[in-house]
Structure 1
Amino acid sequence: MTLLLGMILDAIFGEPKWIWSRLPHPAVLMGQLIGWADQKFNRGPSKRRNGILLMLALGIGAMCLGWVITAVPGIWLDVVVVAILLAQRSLVEHVQAVADALRLSVGDARRAVAMIVGRDTTNMDDPAISRSAIESAAENLSDGVVAPIFWCALGGLPGLLVYKITNTADSMIGYKTPKHADFGWAAARFDDLLNFIPARLTALLIWVVTRRPDPALLFRDAPLHRSPNAGWPEAAMAHGIGVALSGPRSYDGRQVDYPFVNAGGNLSPGPDHIDQAVQVLWRTWFAALLLIGLLAVA
């Protein structure tokens, strides 16, 4: 029941600016902690060992914090924490903002999409902007909504907090760069492990709500993605709304020629396709809500 109420609370209110303009968001606090650890321990000849120990410490600390919160009488503190750590409403708002901006101008859309992707947006045209927004919608549906729901359903608030701190660590230090290849190795591997089932569950939910007939296409296209997990929701979204995703893009001024996912789909998506992706976000959320409701009843 706690998870069910948290999902509904998040979907209704999202992340109210009047609160988070005055208080630090828990995700920000997690990021500050990981940033401090990166500066403090990402040095010397034992970076990989330090990174492993960091993830162990973060995981144990997150579990303990979850147990402390759960020990508070009543369920409403738990419900509020769950709602804060889910990202359905905020994801929808950020993705929809790209479609709305794209209908005004390319410049507005580039600024909007730059808030949700980590690649170069300076020279993006309309289709590239749309693909980026749709890809972000699919990937973050898994990372920010389905995976937290899955781990909360499985491990309660401690499980949810362990997932969130791991996912935050991966987003900050889990890169194969000279600085983080060793120190962030454990964060990246642990995040891959925790997202293995949720990513595929997200793809299945998208497939169901978009009524795709041939799931074999998922197994064909998901491995084309550079990520072992993100390819699944992205492939499901690509087929679900009939667009080609991934493909060539630029990172830090360097062009990377990734293959298209669903190469037979529309190669020039626009704001209407982003609108369709937003509808898929809500339908998938509702399907997840029904599943959690059935579990609560059972």
Structure 2
Amino acid sequence: MTLLLALLLDAAAGEPRWLWSRLPHPAVLMGRAVGWADTRFNREGTGRIRDGVLCMTGLGAGAIALGSALSALPGEVVDVLVLAILLAQRSLVDHVRAVARALRHSLPAGRTAVAMIVGRETAGMSEPAVARAAIESAAENLSDGVIAPAFWFALAGLPGLLLYKITNTADSMIGYRTPRHARFGWAAARFDDLLNWIPARLTALMIWALAPSRRSVKAIRAEAPLHRSPNAGWPEAAMAQHLGVALSGPRRYDGQLRDYPFVNASGRHRIGPADIEAACQTLWRTWGLAVFAALLIALF
């Protein structure tokens, strides 16, 4: 019942600005903890793989300890509130849908909006590139921000949830293969890959289940490995098949063009705001499947 209530609360309330403008969001606090560890143990980018492993071990142990302490409090209110806060369904849909609204207004507005949710360069993006970026972010963050937290809470309660969130936060901050984090961030990136292995494939399965076909499941299995991430390719391939669009493809980071292959290359390339809206509808329909699963868990 806790998971069901948290999913519904997050969908209804999202991330109220009046609250998080006054208090630091737990994700912000996790980011500060990771930033402190990076500064303390990776001085001038000289941290070794061993240092990163020890750092992640300490952060993970702290997350598990905090989750255990919170779980020991009487009643389910704390569990519901913590899980609802750390789910991101409503905020994800709001941010993705904002790109569609902005893109309908103008291409520069669309570029500005999509820059809020992706890390690639957006200044020279075409309308289809903006739409692709928004849809890719929707698919990947559906897995990272909704299905994975719900999965780890269902499996291991608040300790599992907080362990996942601190790992995912660490990966987003120090898991990139930059010179500073090439060795120190290795543990964060690999542990995040491990924790997301099942949720990413579960997310793809849920998207596929909205319109199942033998052809699409074969295509998802064939195209997911085209993605540079061992996990993100699964929800993106499923979303691409579900919407009939081509995702991924070339993009720019730090002034350099990365010639990534398209996922579902035979899908439509000329896409726009309507396709972003369709992706948002898919987010809600997948969320509906998660709610149904949570209801079954509560009943049985």
TM norm structure 2: 0.98
User: Hey, what does 1:224 align to over in structure 2?
Assistant: 226
- Structure 2: give runs of 5+ residues left out of the alignment: none
Local SS of the residue matching 2:74? coil
- Shift of residue 296 of structure 1? 1.4
User: Hey, what does 1:49 align to over in structure 2?
Assistant: 50
- Shift of residue 46 of structure 1? 5.2
Moved more, 188-197 or 74-83: 74-83
- Shift of residue 120 of structure 1? 0.2
Aligned length: 298
Contact 1:212 1:239 in 2 (8 A): no
- Shift of residue 275 of structure 1? 0.5
User: Hey, what does 2:94 align to over in structure 1?
Assistant: 93
Local SS of the residue matching 1:255? strand
1:38 paired to 2:4: no
Q: Residues 17-45 of structure 1, C-alpha deviation per residue, up to 9 Å, x if partnerless?
A: 00001110000111111111111101386
- Shift of residue 74 of structure 1? 1.2
Contact 1:212 1:240 in 2 (8 A): no
User: Hey, what does 1:209 align to over in structure 2?
Assistant: 210
- Shift of residue 224 of structure 1? 0.7
- Shift of residue 213 of structure 1? 3.9
Local SS of the residue matching 1:266? coil
- Shift of residue 210 of structure 1? 3.3
User: Hey, what does 1:280 align to over in structure 2?
Assistant: 282
Local SS of the residue matching 1:97? helix
User: Hey, what does 2:157 align to over in structure 1?
Assistant: 156
User: Hey, what does 1:22 align to over in structure 2?
Assistant: 22
User: Hey, what does 1:262 align to over in structure 2?
Assistant: 264
Cα distance in structure 2, aligned partners of 1:39 and 1:47: 13
Cα distance in structure 2, aligned partners of 1:109 and 1:189: 33
**Residues 45/107 of structure 1: CA separation in 2 closer, same or farther (3 Å cut):** closer
Cα distance in structure 2, aligned partners of 1:45 and 1:28: 25
User: Hey, what does 1:249 align to over in structure 2?
Assistant: 251
Contact 1:218 1:236 in 2 (8 A): yes
Query: What is the alpha-carbon root mean square deviation over aligned residues?
Result: 1.0
Cα distance in structure 2, aligned partners of 1:252 and 1:212: 39
Amino acid at match of 1:263: A
Cα distance in structure 2, aligned partners of 1:191 and 1:137: 19
Amino acid at match of 2:291: L
Q: Residues 90-129 of structure 1, C-alpha deviation per residue, up to 9 Å, x if partnerless?
A: 0000000000100001111111100100000011110000
Local SS of the residue matching 1:103? helix
- Structure 1: give runs of 5+ residues left out of the alignment: none
Moved more, 39-48 or 104-113: 39-48
Local SS of the residue matching 1:250? strand
Q: Residues 197-255 of structure 1, C-alpha deviation per residue, up to 9 Å, x if partnerless?
A: 00000000000113344211111110111111000000000010010000000001100
Amino acid at match of 1:275: E
Contact 1:210 1:280 in 2 (8 A): no
Cα distance in structure 1, aligned partners of 2:280 and 2:230: 24
User: Hey, what does 1:141 align to over in structure 2?
Assistant: 142
TM norm structure 1: 0.98
Amino acid at match of 2:260: Y
User: Hey, what does 2:69 align to over in structure 1?
Assistant: 68
Cα distance in structure 2, aligned partners of 1:265 and 1:146: 26
Contact 2:46 2:180 in 1 (8 A): no
Local SS of the residue matching 2:105? coil
Cα distance in structure 1, aligned partners of 2:47 and 2:164: 25
Cα distance in structure 1, aligned partners of 2:56 and 2:72: 24
Cα distance in structure 1, aligned partners of 2:230 and 2:83: 27
Q: Residues 40-79 of structure 1, C-alpha deviation per residue, up to 9 Å, x if partnerless?
A: 1013865211110111111111111111111111111111
User: Hey, what does 2:298 align to over in structure 1?
Assistant: 296
Cα distance in structure 2, aligned partners of 1:118 and 1:191: 18
Cα distance in structure 2, aligned partners of 1:289 and 1:28: 27
Cα distance in structure 2, aligned partners of 1:45 and 1:36: 15
